[in-house]
Structure 1
Amino acid sequence: MSSYADRLSALREQLKRDRLDGFVVPLTDEHMSEYVGAYAQRLAWLTGFQGSAGSAVVLPEQAAIFTDGRYTLQVRQQVDGDHWQFVSVPATSVAGWLGEHAAKGGRIGYDPWLHTSAWVAEAKKALAARGAELVAVDTNPIDAVWPDRPAPSDARLVVQNDAQAGASSAAKRAEIADWLAERKADAVVLTALDSIAWTLNVRGQDVAHTPVALAYAIVDADGTADLFVASDKIDETVRQHLGNAIRVQDRAAFPAALGSYAGKRIAADPERAVAAIFDRLELGGAKVLALRDPVVLAKAMKNPVEIAGHRAASARDGAALARFLRWVEAEAPKGGQTELSCVAKLQEFREATGVLKDTSFDTISATGEHGASPHYHSTPESNVPLEPGQLYLVDSGGQYADGTTDVTRVLPIGQPTDEMRDRFTRVLKGHIGLATAIFPPGTNGGQLDGFARRPLWEAGLDYAHGTGHGVGAYLSVHEGPQRIAQPNYPGGGPSEPLRAGMIISNEPGYYKAGEYGIRIENLILVEEREIAGGDAPMLGFETLTFCPIERSLIVPEMLTSAERGWLNAYHAKVLEILGPQMSGDELEWLEEKCAPIG
């Protein structure tokens, strides 16, 4: 198709042929993934939107795209406002919008392999009130008009050996079997790609930035499992690793297999398993237990091997990022460097480690006003040079076999303004406030979120995104169930109690539209704390990410003595961990960046 307008027109013509009066387009795949393979990038193909969260609705005369506060600026830059209405969520839901705009008596299509049962119920209710109908399609109409749609990846699975995983697949499946026995269930359907990878100790290359394979799994009460994956993706090494307890079937056999559990009690996760899975289980006569995937919490609580691996990955990654920051500091003032040239250079430094598998997400390389869009993604069309007077924000991470990293730093290009330094220092104070929090077991991330925001709130400022997300062990850079967020912000809502072993990000920020953005992000580990003289168990955080925080952006007088103590201790640790990896001019630069602030 020659333009996005042509694609929208082609979809509308297809909807007419399918006797539909509208269609809903989510940004996900059959596994409810955040990051999806190229074959499933239907929203991006239709609209041009490159963010990692969003949905669209196409009606005969209207079309709307739904994004949250992280993408308010980005969606307007990437999507044509002449053809699309911009709608903010959660203020307006897709179902709510449909309930107001669908034609009375209209048939609104949806792909049941791309939506949860809860969403289907909500949309049906909203449309019924309008006198309209929600209709499941057998074939996604976008696929019919997407002439060069990529095929799903054919990359082979690889083994994540027990020495890296810290526990065998057999041990993990035994824990799932115990979980099933407690619930008198016969089997559990695993649909989240990272849950399957973690349970079976395998990794893949089917989704950019996330080392997972397109597959489904059903784990039985005896600890055996069925793995549904394209047969040509399994070689003899993986087959031997899986062993006799895991029956390998073709991925295409999964839908039919769901109909073979008549009279059985089958667990499936209502947040992670799509509506089609529940429908087929119920039609086949299974008693469906809507329960959270048992792997979700187990995977989030890292074992000692996974924690040690993450520390090693962070040390390696921190040195690569520090070298990059030194390069930016030296080269950007000379001119000629752009957002994309910085992305390429950072990639070079990470690849120089010799063990980089992938980046953990598309690097956010944002200078000046682009930094005010928290999830900005530089493209050849939006790419701009780094210029004096700007703040340069880089949010990036690496995938290594021993860990997944995610870190954000900000540098001034030339002399920062007093306002920039004030805002940066407030973000730093919030970062330290969260990093030093002590809290009792049972505390959730939402209860801690204000620790990071208070210095900004005191100045009448805030940021419209969550403060922290879970991170996997050579898996997804955004991993649940833990998070740190206000209930009304993206990533908010009911929050999981934090438990020892969880890795989570600490990333408060500040964004001034049209001018600059600031975010300071480290990864932190929830750990048990003994408080001298205390009589109750407590938890706290260990910082895992080590890379200098830019001194020239800090107003020392705004820091308390305790905050200065934290910063100086942090930089001493940065020097201890990164220093042995550097020498000569690099080491001198690092020593200067890590010098104590009085």
Structure 2
Amino acid sequence: MSDQNKSIYEQRIAEIKQLLENYELDAIIVNHDDEYLSYELNESQERIKYISGFSGSAGYVVITANPKEELSNSGIDVTSSKDGHKYHASKGNAVFVDGRYVVQVKEQISSELFDNYDFSKLSVEDYLSQVLNKNAKIGIDMNCISYKEYLKIKDTLEANNMELVQTNGNLVDKIWFDKPEEVISPIEIFNDEYNGCPSPKKRQEIAQYLRDHELDATVICDPESICWLLNIRGNDRKCLPIINCKMVAYSNEALEWYINQAHFVGDDIEDMLQEHVGHVDIFPEERFDEVLDRLCQSSCSVLVDPDSTNAHTMMHLYEGGAKVVEDIGVCLLPKAKKNHIEIAGEYKAHIKDGIAMCRFLSWLDNLTKLDIPVENDEAFTRRVEDTTELDLANRALSFRKVEEGFIGLSFDTISALGPNAAMCHYNHENVAEPRALGHDSIYLIDSGAHFNEGTTDITRTILVSPHISDEIRKMYTTVLKSHIALASLIFPSGTSGMQIDAIARRPLWDLGLDYAHGTGHGVGHVLSVHEGPQNISSKRSLVPLEPGMVISCEPGFYKEGEYGIRLENLLVVIPCTKPGMQHMLCFSPLTLVPFDNRLIIKELLSQKEIDYLNNYHQNVNNVIAAAGTSLTEDELNWLNKATATI
């Protein structure tokens, strides 16, 4: 971080500390999420980025005004209650991130202003309990943290004679005078030809669920669930086609929708909504607390998902006397289990995405021309014309944009060369100068798109240099083995992601290695590319995988400061069709893009793995060649070569 940027964050920290003094607080916790607990934020909600420089999609910042005296002298060793390890603290300010960002955070924050920790090893509450004096008061915005996380932090602090205090608004907003405007986009109808289930039927099923469980209502604070329920979409979030809003659904099928009225653009939108969803009572979003009061006054039995509902809402209901039932959100499982129209759409979307990505990879191979010898490295650098990570990301986007029904990217493209690929969620837009081709052996691109029919997410690691080490080829092959191990799995009904996560990690574990992120996440249907409740991870992935769920398979390996490898396909859970195995489940690949055979050490693959790869590539060739009428002869020749049998 430059001295100029450091001084900016130093000033912002000083302004926060002044507020802490004014409010008689000893510290503040700033969570990454917004009031909807979404990690896919617009710039106007990137509070952690504003006060620290860290731009990842998860984390906390802690700023202390009155730490223990020894912290500013020689520092303090903080002991983790998770593993007993000690972590040194010396700054009084800290950034906490998960395993995906342990490299990135060091690049983005000033080490003179902040300590940084992996919160899976050292928790925020453990840190605060040891760097502050007894009876300390710690501020937090309860609108921007889940109830479960709030309770976890609160209970630990109280056990150490400290108090977690609700702040009046978010303190970061009080110093953020040039904060960008909120995005308020028009409501768009998501037609039944794409969603496969009309909204009135969905609300009937939700109401029946509530009646079956003797519940009066459910509070929904997750905009994705509301957009799914109403079959609408919007553009309130970058790369996430949703409308920010909240809702209460009742057991008699009534819906109360709390939304900014500015979303209703056009004279006929309310008539269209009435025809599309039926009658809905619409209120300004700022009146949402009023319906919470009514639920409390009526002593209603209310289902609330503690993972997707902020602490303010939950505490309002509990303290007001509502009969709160904590459970998974009523829309989450129906949304995750795609119907046959949605699945058919996903296949169509992935054909379009496959064509676009094959054209991109053909173009990239034509740029590098690795099959044509060069005199020296300087000559090769001239050949690739200083093409940067930004140029590569834009080129991939250009091929997607021409596909019919393209809506937009499903997340910011991760376009990473060499050491940048060792940062799992690297973004070339956050660096002063994107890295250029000509200096690194491999290139990682993790990208995806929303089409009318579905949502895509794919990662490929590509050879981009005439020089490649045996180590990189070995690690690429190992990651491919990990991918195939999971993608080819047959498993019984009722199996959760936690039960199968180790299967993907086994080839890396055999080498004493691992990766610090989940193996797979759910993917929404023209909604969030990171959808729950299904995922594949060693933590908190207990929801059974069911037919119709779409999930990623993305093992990886990262060598800090040198390179990163990740190989990702999207898979859909289907009943197994093998004779005698129809009672089991398996995965069907949606993604239709070749892996880079040039990076494979064939001798490290078993015959079963070779057969899987050859069959996958043959299917890619068959589908893309037949559907890709826009492919040129050169692109078809590239496809044939890239999918050749090994």
- TM-score relative to the length of structure 1: 0.96
2:54 equivalent among 22, 34, 49: 49
The one-character-per-residue Cα deviations of 1:272-292 (angstroms, maximum 9, x if unpaired) are 111111122234432111121
Shift of 1:460: 2.1
1:275 equivalent among 311, 323, 331: 311
Q: Using the alignment, how far apart are the partners of 1:409 and 1:38 within structure 2?
A: 28
Instruction: Check whether the contact 2:446–2:460 (CA below 8 A) recurs between aligned residues.
Output: yes
The one-character-per-residue Cα deviations of 1:262-310 (angstroms, maximum 9, x if unpaired) are 2211111111111111122234432111121111111110001110111
For 2:576, the equivalent position in structure 1 comes to: 529
For 1:361, the equivalent position in structure 2 comes to: 411
The one-character-per-residue Cα deviations of 1:351-403 (angstroms, maximum 9, x if unpaired) are 12243222111111111111111111113415111224421100010011211
Q: How does 1:422-571 map to 2 (within 5 A)?
A: 422-486=474-538, 492-534=539-581, 537-571=583-617
For 2:360, the equivalent position in structure 1 comes to: 324
SS at match of 1:3: helix
For 2:623, the equivalent position in structure 1 comes to: 577
Q: Using the alignment, how far apart are the partners of 1:403 and 1:15 within structure 2?
A: 46
Q: Using the alignment, how far apart are the partners of 1:225 and 1:386 within structure 2?
A: 54
Q: How does 1:63-212 map to 2 (within 5 A)?
A: 63-212=93-242
Q: Using the alignment, how far apart are the partners of 2:614 and 2:496 within structure 1?
A: 29
For 1:489, the equivalent position in structure 2 comes to: none
The one-character-per-residue Cα deviations of 1:100-141 (angstroms, maximum 9, x if unpaired) are 223322211111111122222222222223322111012111
Q: Using the alignment, how far apart are the partners of 1:532 and 1:123 within structure 2?
A: 51
| CA shift in 2, pair 1:382/1:442, >3 Å | farther
SS at match of 2:474: helix
SS at match of 1:511: strand
| AA of the residue aligned to 2:223 | L
1:239 equivalent among 253, 257, 270: 270
Q: Using the alignment, how far apart are the partners of 1:100 and 1:50 within structure 2?
A: 27
Q: Using the alignment, how far apart are the partners of 2:39 and 2:173 within structure 1?
A: 20
Instruction: Check whether the contact 1:259–1:285 (CA below 8 A) recurs between aligned residues.
Output: no
Q: Using the alignment, how far apart are the partners of 2:130 and 2:294 within structure 1?
A: 40
Shift of 1:331: 2.3
Shift of 1:467: 0.8
For 1:249, the equivalent position in structure 2 comes to: 283
Shift of 1:172: 0.7
Q: Using the alignment, how far apart are the partners of 1:431 and 1:391 within structure 2?
A: 18
Instruction: Check whether the contact 1:98–1:126 (CA below 8 A) recurs between aligned residues.
Output: no
Instruction: Check whether the contact 2:479–2:555 (CA below 8 A) recurs between aligned residues.
Output: yes
For 1:593, the equivalent position in structure 2 comes to: 642
Q: How does 1:12-27 map to 2 (within 5 A)?
A: 12-27=17-32
Q: Using the alignment, how far apart are the partners of 2:632 and 2:578 within structure 1?
A: 39
Q: Using the alignment, how far apart are the partners of 1:572 and 1:328 within structure 2?
A: 22
Shift of 1:237: 4.4
Q: Using the alignment, how far apart are the partners of 1:270 and 1:389 within structure 2?
A: 45
| AA of the residue aligned to 1:463 | Y
Q: Using the alignment, how far apart are the partners of 2:238 and 2:144 within structure 1?
A: 19
SS at match of 2:545: coil
Shift of 1:231: 0.7
Shift of 1:424: 0.8
Shift of 1:456: 1.7
For 2:77, the equivalent position in structure 1 comes to: none
Q: How does 1:221-232 map to 2 (within 5 A)?
A: 221-232=251-262
1:402 equivalent among 425, 449, 453: 453
Instruction: Return structure 1 stretches of 4+ with deviation > 6 angstroms.
Output: none
Q: Using the alignment, how far apart are the partners of 2:313 and 2:64 within structure 1?
A: 27
| AA of the residue aligned to 1:504 | I
Question: Aligned pair count?
Answer: 591
Instruction: Check whether the contact 1:98–1:123 (CA below 8 A) recurs between aligned residues.
Output: no
**Is 574-583 or 203-212 further displaced after alignment?**
574-583
| AA of the residue aligned to 2:561 | G
SS at match of 1:344: helix
Instruction: Check whether the contact 1:357–1:399 (CA below 8 A) recurs between aligned residues.
Output: yes
SS at match of 1:113: helix
SS at match of 1:472: coil
Stretches of structure 2 that go unaligned for 5 or more consecutive residues are 68-91, 369-379
SS at match of 1:357: strand
| AA of the residue aligned to 2:591 | T
Instruction: Check whether the contact 1:196–1:217 (CA below 8 A) recurs between aligned residues.
Output: yes
1:387 equivalent among 426, 433, 438: 438
Shift of 1:329: 2.1
Shift of 1:27: 0.7
Q: Using the alignment, how far apart are the partners of 1:530 and 1:313 within structure 2?
A: 24
For 1:264, the equivalent position in structure 2 comes to: 300
Instruction: Check whether the contact 1:259–1:283 (CA below 8 A) recurs between aligned residues.
Output: no
| AA of the residue aligned to 2:64 | L
| AA of the residue aligned to 1:260 | R
Shift of 1:494: 4.1
Instruction: Check whether the contact 1:50–1:377 (CA below 8 A) recurs between aligned residues.
Output: no
| AA of the residue aligned to 1:41 | E
| AA of the residue aligned to 2:292 | L
SS at match of 1:239: helix
| CA shift in 2, pair 1:281/1:129, >3 Å | closer
Q: Using the alignment, how far apart are the partners of 1:444 and 1:559 within structure 2?
A: 27
SS at match of 2:144: coil
| CA shift in 2, pair 1:558/1:503, >3 Å | same
- TM-score relative to the length of structure 2: 0.89
| AA of the residue aligned to 2:414 | I
| AA of the residue aligned to 1:239 | E
**Is 499-508 or 282-291 further displaced after alignment?**
282-291
**Is 395-404 or 9-18 further displaced after alignment?**
9-18
Instruction: Check whether the contact 1:364–1:396 (CA below 8 A) recurs between aligned residues.
Output: yes
